[in-house]
Amino acid sequence: MIFLLHASREWRGASGELRGASSEARGQKSEISIPNSEPRIPNSELATPNSYEPARHLRIFLTRTNDYAEDVRRMRELLAVLSSVSGKDRFTFFVPNPQGIVQLDFPNHSTSYSQVQHTLSELLREWGRLEVL
């Protein structure tokens, strides 16, 4: 790999001599070669297949029980599972109530679906259903 270096500023000193002139202006060629200068990326920082996946939106449709405390406990447990892993996937809960369906967004939380997929599937098998967009 070859880099060309040159200074772009020139000025005259007190005695009138040219200072700061580029090497090319003084008739010298400024090339340096740096062998093996390719950047090294540690194996731990190499991209994994999951790092190239686009962000997803998890839509979680919960079923209600006749027990309000149990419904709240389930939502808290789901939120804890989803928040336990950082990632770029967003999620929304859809909870039925007597007037319709309440949509609960969590703009300050995100997750990594690929890392919580198994746990989430087990929980939602009895508690509702999941759509991944």
pLDDT tens per residue across span 39-55: 454 444 444 545 678 99
What pTM was computed for the model? 0.61
**What percent of the chain stands above pLDDT 70?**
62
Choose among 50, 109, 52, 118: nearest CA to 82.
Answer: 109
* CA–CA dist 118, 113 (Å, integer): 9
Residue 53: its pLDDT value, please? 80
Residue 73: its pLDDT value, please? 97
pLDDT tens per residue across span 48-96: 545 678 999 999 999 999 999 999 999 999 999 999 999 999 999 999 9
